Each structure stands twice: as structure tokens, then as C-alpha cells.
Amino acid sequence: MNDAEALKKIAGEAACEFVKTGMRVGLGTGSTVKYTVLELGRRVQEEGLEIVGVPTSIATQELALDVGIPLVELGSVDGLDIVIDGTDEFDPHFQLIKGGGAALLREKIVAQQSAAMVVVADERKQVECLGAFGIPIEITPFACDVTVAALSTLLNCEVILRMEGSEHKLTDNGNCIADAKIGPSINDPIATEASILNVAGVVQVGLFNNMCDAVVLASGNGVDTLMNPKGRL
């Protein structure tokens, strides 16, 4: 395991401290939160932790079932106690960019139904200004090139459809993913999110604003938990 992967494992496992017996838990998607799911599965099997999970992707669903986490449909429960998810970037105001794993729509639905959101990350994800990663945007396949052109004009940057070989990369929902190469320039992520969502053809945008309550951050110096002073935890 290389250093970056080791930091992901440390952060992913540390976030499990927020999970207690009886909780309804949103299970995020990505290479860091994978370790959260693995650790929660171990606690279910070895320590008798009693939880139910709601996965944010087919990949997470399959992993959770493999490690023995009982799953339920989001609509069958009255909200979630917590969601633990990864991030591609987070800024000093706890605003996020997500969607590198192409699961942003399901991730945002689950996050909005959760009483709290804990993000797991390594130190590379901490930025002063959002945007260097780009903005993942889920769009409808219909006239996707037209939507991409409209987004490029709106954001004044290159917007590229994500590909898988010679085909468009499709989400679990059957939509396309576009990446806006905006650079570290998002000074008002709330306004940017609203303007993107106003473009016909956009299903959802990978800006997660006013959702994150804590970041479990792994670095070469160990693990720090950064608490959002305006958060719910």
C-alpha cells in the first residue's frame, strides 16, 4: 500500500467513530470511503454493531453486501442519521466538490436526507479555493453536446464529456458526466451551483454546498477531525 492509499485507509476507518448502534447510515462512494464501508462491515460482523445502510452507488451496494452491512431503500426509512462520503476537494468553508466517481446525483440525494455529513479525505483534497479538480456535472444523454456547449459558454472554460473507451461514461442513472475545467476560481460556489443547475439538460452538479459538518483528514502527521463551526455535529 503506497502512502496515499495508506492515508485514505486511515481517514476512512477513523470516520467510523461517528457511527453508533441503531443508526441509519448513508454509505458514500469512492476510494477513501471504501475503507469506511470495510471497517463498518468488520464492526457489524465482529463487534455486533447494529446499523442499516443506504448506498450511494451500485459499487458501494455490492461492497456493503459483501461485508455484511444490512441495506435498506432510502424511501423506506424516515431520513438518515449520518452519511459518510469522500470528496475531491473541500475549502475552508466546508464546501465540497464531488463527482470524480460519477456518483454525484445519488450522493447528493442521500446527503440531503441525512442529519449530518462526515467527509473523509487525505490532505491533497484540502484547498483554499475550489475548482482545480474541475466541476463534475451529470447531464442527460439527449443533446449532450448542446448542453456541454451551453455550460462552456456559461462557465467560460472547457467542458469535456467523460469517456469510457469510445463511449460516453454513463452514471448508475444512465446519464452522461461532463467535467468543467474551471480551475481554482470558484469564489462563490453557491451562485456557481445555481447557475449550472439553471441550464436545461443538467441533472445535478458536483458542488455540495452547506452540507458538510466535519472532515476526517489524514496527513503524514496523523488524523485530524475538522469540525464545521456552523455544522450539525
Active site members:
107
At which residue does the C-alpha cell 496527513 appear? Answer: 219
Which residues does 158 contact at the CB level (< 8 Å), separation at least 6?
Answer: 152, 180, 181
Q: Residue 229, class by beta-carbon neighbours within 10 Å (0-12 exposed, 13-18 middle, 19+ buried)?
A: exposed
Number of C-alpha atoms within 13 angstroms, CB side, residue 57?
A: 23
The conformation of residue 74, written as its DSSP 8-state character, comes to: G
Residue 226 dihedral angles phi and psi, to the nearest 5°: -95, 120
**First-residue to last-residue Cα distance in the chain:** 32
**Residue 232 region, left (φ>0) first, then alpha (ψ -120 to 50), else beta?**
alpha
- 107 in Cβ contact with 28 (< 8 Å): yes
The whole-angstrom separation of Cα 113 and Cα 26 is 9
- In 3D space, the residue among 91, 101, 114 whose CA is nearest the CA of residue 209 turns out to be 91
